Structure 1
Amino acid sequence: MRAGGAGGVGIVGMLVVLAFGYFFGIDISPVVQGLDQGGPQQAGRQSAQLSEADRAYGEFVSVVLADTEEVWSDVLPAQAGRDYADPTLVLFSGVVQSACGGASSAMGPFYCPNDRKVYLDTDFFDLMRQKMGAGGDFAYAYVIAHEVGHHIQNLEGTLQQVNSLRGRVSQADSNALSVLTELQADCYAGIWARQASERFGTLEEGDLEEAIGAAHAVGDDVIQSSAGRTPMPDSFTHGSSAQRREWLMRGFNSGDMGQCDTFAAAGL
């Protein structure tokens, strides 16, 4: 993947837990490192200093987020009739406190709709590469773009509607609604990937395969199997590996937000 897009650091996303949350466990504490829309910003580092790897990841994420802002600033008004508002990225290490509560790096990336911030642990990409077999720049970009998708859902009002409905249904139905929400964010990530290729020429040979591999790696069935558990579809909250690949590619192939309506596809 070649770096492209304009400067600035904004972000997007939703996903108060990517698939890694229930797999690794959760903890709570304060912010360690922040990146605001104006660029890198110190935020009460608890112990370790920002490493060179952290800085490199921060620069990479900044470029990807700038690209997502440029794409969605055009696509969202054109296809959904809504203005796009830039969110904020917070890079942290270990533990962080958000407007949605405390969280640990065990949760993986997450989006807090209450403060419109995406939280990304500095060690997350290493985890993808070393333990999930999903390394590569475009695999990492897919995860960021997925969070962007949740921010889009927040701007559209989808998150509010889903969260309200989930509080009134059974656990199994609540999980199913969560899956539909996550798959739509995957589809939006696919739209971004298509736009990134057309606008910035950021896709190189093998990049799309990296994103597909990452979508496969974060499927609920793969994660549960990796944890030594028998996959239980009723407990899925993000979708199977096949579903995640399918919706990512639906967004990429169509470039159309209308093709990302997972709720309508499920008969809702």
Structure 2
Amino acid sequence: MRLDDERESTNVEDRRGAGGFGGGRATIGIGTIVIALAASYFFGIDPRVVLEGASALQGRQQQAQPAPTQHQGAPANDAGAVFTRKVLGNIERTWTGVFNTQLHAQYEPPKLVMFTNSTPTACGTGQTAMGPFYCPGDRNVYIDLGFYDELRKRFGAGGDFAQAYVIAHEVGHHVQNLLGIADKVDAARRRSSQARANALSVRMELQADCFAGVWANNAQRANQRLMEPGDFEQGLKAAAAIGDDRLQQQGQGYVVPESFTHGTSEQRVYWLRRGMESGEVSACDTFAANAR
């Protein structure tokens, strides 16, 4: 990605070095796979067992904690922080345009919080082991920038576009929140069996993948220099690397489809590619009866 000309987002809070916070529970995001890795389960059981049971996937049923103390200060200039702010800035501008032209609505950007170890959120305590996640309670995206190295070393999905895909996926959950999709799915999950609730969670994650693709398509159309050869392939490789089936097979030698909460590698690649190729929010209806 060519980010030299990109403006940095100001909707970023840097809590790194602010110390950890114990207790509580947090939401689940694209990086929830990491806690499963650490626990050696790889989703062989319902991953919410690892995250203390019956909380909703997006954390809407969890009690809000008091707002954390701000640790903003001057923006950090380390490469990871600058990259993150520039990617988020592009995502903000892109979704503002998409909301305006496709949805005839005003986009309200989330804040992105960089942290290390653990941090309080409106959804409980966020931890590095969870990977990046979105909390609908405070409309923040949370990320420990060390996940970029995790993505490259553990999942073999390096490259700046793969990292940008991680951020775009979590912002995709924010888009779901703005559009009221998250509320409807959470209500449906509460009325559903465990298997059906997991299936709905998969559809949420696949739609966030598709929304990440919508961002990539529209960002490229707005700036033909933004993407470099191989960038889209990096994103597709990252999506394939974190499919539930691949992680389970690698971790325990077999898969448990009814425990899937993020989708198979094939599904994740399909929906990310669909968003990339169409650039249309309307192409991301993962809940349709004939959706893959």
Indicate the SS of the match to 1:264.
Answer: coil
**Which whole-Å deviations, capped at 9, do the CAs of 1:164-198 have from their partners, x for residues lacking one?**
11111011100000000010110110111112222
Cα distance in 1 for partners of 2:51, 2:183 equals 25
Equivalent position of 2:2 in the other structure: 2
* Cα 1:266/1:162, change in 2 over 3 Å: farther
Q: How many pairs does the alignment contain?
A: 251
The answer to whether structure 1 residue 209 and structure 2 residue 233 are counterparts is yes
The answer to whether structure 1 residue 16 and structure 2 residue 51 are counterparts is no
The answer to whether structure 1 residue 261 and structure 2 residue 275 are counterparts is no
Partners of 2:68 and 2:120 within 8 A in 1: no
Equivalent position of 1:191 in the other structure: 214
Indicate the SS of the match to 2:252.
Answer: coil
Cα distance in 2 for partners of 1:33, 1:197 equals 37
* Cα 1:78/1:68, change in 2 over 3 Å: same
Indicate the SS of the match to 1:262.
Answer: coil
Instruction: Give the one of 153, 158, 180 matched to 2:181.
Output: 158
More helix as a share of residues: 1
Which runs of 5 or more structure 1 residues have no equivalent in the other structure? 42-51
* Cα 1:129/1:8, change in 2 over 3 Å: same
Equivalent position of 1:84 in the other structure: 107
Cα distance in 2 for partners of 1:208, 1:229 equals 30
Equivalent position of 1:142 in the other structure: 165
Instruction: Give the one of 141, 145, 149 matched to 1:118.
Output: 141
AA matched with 1:211: G
Which runs of 5 or more structure 2 residues have no equivalent in the other structure? 13-26, 40-49, 53-65
Cα distance in 2 for partners of 1:130, 1:32 equals 32
AA matched with 2:118: V
**Which whole-Å deviations, capped at 9, do the CAs of 1:27-83 have from their partners, x for residues lacking one?**
89x9999786x9738xxxxxxxxxx8xx21111010000000000001013212321
Equivalent position of 1:49 in the other structure: none
Equivalent position of 1:252 in the other structure: 276
Shift of 1:10: 3.5
AA matched with 2:36: Y
**Which whole-Å deviations, capped at 9, do the CAs of 1:89-143 have from their partners, x for residues lacking one?**
1011111211000121111100000000000012100101111100100000111
AA matched with 2:8: G
AA matched with 2:75: P
* Cα 1:94/1:206, change in 2 over 3 Å: same
The answer to whether structure 1 residue 104 and structure 2 residue 127 are counterparts is yes
Shift of 1:265: 4.4
Cα distance in 2 for partners of 1:81, 1:60 equals 30
Partners of 2:67 and 2:122 within 8 A in 1: no
* Cα 1:138/1:39, change in 2 over 3 Å: farther
**Aligned-residue identity in percent:** 45
Equivalent position of 2:60 in the other structure: none
